Structure 1
Amino acid sequence: MLAQLTILATDLDDIKIDFDSGSLTFLKVVIALILFGVALDTKLEDFAAAIRRPVPIAIGVVAQFVLLPALTFLLTILLDVRGSVALGMILVACCPPGNVSNILTHRSGGDVALSVSMTAVSNVLSIFLLPINLAFWGGLSPAGDDLLQSVDMSIWETFGEIALVIGLPFVAGIGISRIWPRVGARAHKIVGPVSFILLAAIIVLGFVGNFDIFQDYITIVLLAVFLQNALALALGYAIARATRLPVRQQKAMTFEVGVRNTGLGLLLVFTYFDGLGGMALVAAWWGLYDIITGLVVAEVWRRRTPVAPEAAVTV
């Protein structure tokens, strides 16, 4: 059995997940909708609030863009995963959070205002930091470096793609929220849930359309995703505890670090890596798994800790 898994793992670097150009365009639209939904719930005052509370924001930025990719890199070496799986794990670690982190923070009774501010700041920073982080940590990976070198992906091209998918929807959403706040508030209630339903549908249809591949190879990424997801959630909680943040901010930090926008990761996999097997499997499974684990953690946390009245706000 172990020998069979080793052979499968070796072949995984050569597997390509089928995803046509029409589906890729639809995925871009869905990711743009997700970021548009985040922006509709973001106000310019959130950035001002972030400036007034620089310590937790700075802690979150360091945890997301320095510690998580670094620890993920070490995890890929410890697990001795194949190159495509290693790159997939590193890519997920480099992705920003989405507004699922805001929803989970709200459900757990955490500091929603901090969560929204951190999500806004993280998504803006990811436009610049995601391609740099991916190139840096992917280049250091003994397993993933050769695959990364074989891909025609420049930092500037990736920066342009991310700026298009994140930057434009973000600016549009903030603008609408600023000029027409009632329209923005109503649209947010629709755009957010619809975009995530569409993303889940894309992932599920991808599983169905490539069922034979997923059936043969999904077991290879199960442990990797399980450990990385646990690591991300634990990192957010641990760094919040270590820096003595209040309980409600600990909850926000846990989900901001532990929840990743893997839809953006999938977009990059199919845009630059031609649906590379291990990367696509890791990002797709992460997209479903972290929502499940996040909901479980949020519900347990809500039951075990009191919810402050100001935490009960609509996200």
Structure 2
Amino acid sequence: MTDVDDIRIAFDEGSLTTLRIVLGLILLGVALDTRVADFRRAARRPWAILVAVVAQFLVLPAITFVLTLALDLRGSLALGLILVACCPPGNVSNILTHRAGGDVAMSVSMTAVGNVLAIFLMPVNVAFWGSMHPTGRELLREISLSPLAMLAEVLLVIGLPFVVGIYLAHRFPRFADRARRVVGPVAFLGLGAVILVGVANNWAIFTAYIGLVVVAVFLHDALALLLGYVIGRAARLPEGSVKASTFEVGIRNAGLGLLLVFSFFGGLGGMALVAAWWGIWDIVAGLVVAAVWRRRSGVSPRTDEVAARA
């Protein structure tokens, strides 16, 4: 069997454009559900936001780096986990926090701040941790990754839709509220379709190598969720904020990672497999955790917190 580091997965320019549009719509959906008041709320609770930011952008990439060394992963698989760890959260974290009976308002604030910071921190984090990895650094040298070029791509996919969405939410709140109910689900269905088409077009590669990433992704996802929980507890956040922290750190926008794999890493096989499987397993694991949390606490999702943001 060919080394996974030598595999390149085909993804034509039309598919890449579709993926950019879909991810832009996902971030637009996040922004349409964000209000300027969310940033004010975050400023009033800086400790909780700081905890989530440190966990996402400092601790999680570091833990991921150690995990790749402990598992002795091939370069492309290691870079895939590092890339996903550096991705921002998505609004799936808000949905899961809601289902778990957590602090939805805090979750939305964390997501908003996290996505803004990710525009600048993600390219730096990927370049730094990737260049530190003993096998990943060789692949990065071959690819000649440019953090500035990645910054431009992230600005296009995250920054622009986010600014447009927040403007619409602020200027036309009723329209934004109706639009987000359509944009979010349609965008996620579109992302699922793009991934399924990509898997179908590369089925032989997927079935041959997916076994290499299942254990790594399972452990990585579990560590990410656990980190969000532990750091929230250690910071003595309220129970609802601990739930928000758990999902903000544990849920990553792997779809964005997949786009970057094809835009900057030439469809590197291990990276693409990690990002694709992470995006699927992440949601499954998150739903399980939310269901267990909700059953143990014996409460329904906090609709009062949702109403408070309306």
**TM category, shorter:** over 0.9
Distance in 2 separating the partners of 1:219 and 1:112: 36
Distance in 1 separating the partners of 2:303 and 2:113: 26
1:310 is the counterpart of 2:304: yes
Kept after mapping to 2: 8 A contact 1:106/1:311 = no
Distance in 1 separating the partners of 2:305 and 2:292: 16
Give the share of equivalent positions with the same residue, in percent: 61
1:215 is the counterpart of 2:207: yes
1:197 is the counterpart of 2:192: no
Counterpart pick for 2:246 among 245, 254, 257:
254
Distance in 1 separating the partners of 2:190 and 2:162: 19
Kept after mapping to 2: 8 A contact 1:72/1:228 = yes
1:74 is the counterpart of 2:66: yes
1:14 is the counterpart of 2:6: yes
Distance in 1 separating the partners of 2:54 and 2:137: 24
Alpha carbon RMSD of aligned pairs, Å?
1.3
1:233 is the counterpart of 2:225: yes
1:48 is the counterpart of 2:40: yes
Q: Which residue of 2 aligns with 1:111?
A: 103
Report how far residue 46 of structure 1 moved. 0.6
1:151 is the counterpart of 2:152: no
Counterpart pick for 2:81 among 77, 89, 95:
89
- 3-state SS in 2 of match to 1:275: coil
Segments ≥4 residues shifted beyond 2 Å: 306-315
Distance in 2 separating the partners of 1:312 and 1:108: 13
Distance in 1 separating the partners of 2:223 and 2:305: 26
Report how far residue 310 of structure 1 moved. 2.6
Report how far residue 312 of structure 1 moved. 6.1
Partner amino acid, structure 1, of 2:62: A
Report how far residue 102 of structure 1 moved. 0.4
Distance in 1 separating the partners of 2:43 and 2:306: 24
Report how far residue 153 of structure 1 moved. 2.2
Report how far residue 228 of structure 1 moved. 0.1
Report how far residue 71 of structure 1 moved. 0.1
Distance in 2 separating the partners of 1:239 and 1:248: 14
Partner amino acid, structure 2, of 1:57: I
1:139 is the counterpart of 2:131: yes
Kept after mapping to 2: 8 A contact 1:17/1:277 = yes
Q: Which residue of 1 aligns with 2:18?
A: 26
Kept after mapping to 2: 8 A contact 1:109/1:311 = no
- 3-state SS in 2 of match to 1:81: coil
Partner amino acid, structure 2, of 1:257: V
Q: Which residue of 1 aligns with 2:237?
A: 245
Partner amino acid, structure 2, of 1:69: P
1:179 is the counterpart of 2:171: yes
Kept after mapping to 2: 8 A contact 1:240/1:253 = yes
Counterpart pick for 2:153 among 158, 161, 173:
161
Return 5+ residue gaps in structure 2 as ranges: none
Report how far residue 39 of structure 1 moved. 0.2
Kept after mapping to 2: 8 A contact 1:32/1:169 = yes
Kept after mapping to 2: 8 A contact 1:176/1:184 = yes
Counterpart pick for 2:287 among 274, 295, 307:
295
The count of aligned residue pairs is: 307
Return 5+ residue gaps in structure 1 as ranges: 1-6
Q: Which residue of 2 aligns with 1:3?
A: none
Partner amino acid, structure 2, of 1:65: F
- 3-state SS in 2 of match to 1:13: helix
Q: Which residue of 1 aligns with 2:198?
A: 206
Distance in 2 separating the partners of 1:149 and 1:50: 39
Distance in 1 separating the partners of 2:197 and 2:16: 13
Report how far residue 277 of structure 1 moved. 0.2
Kept after mapping to 2: 8 A contact 1:87/1:144 = yes
1:254-297 Cα offsets, whole Å, 9 max, x none, are 00000000111011000001100000000000011000110111
What TM-score, normalized by structure 2, do the two folds share? 0.97
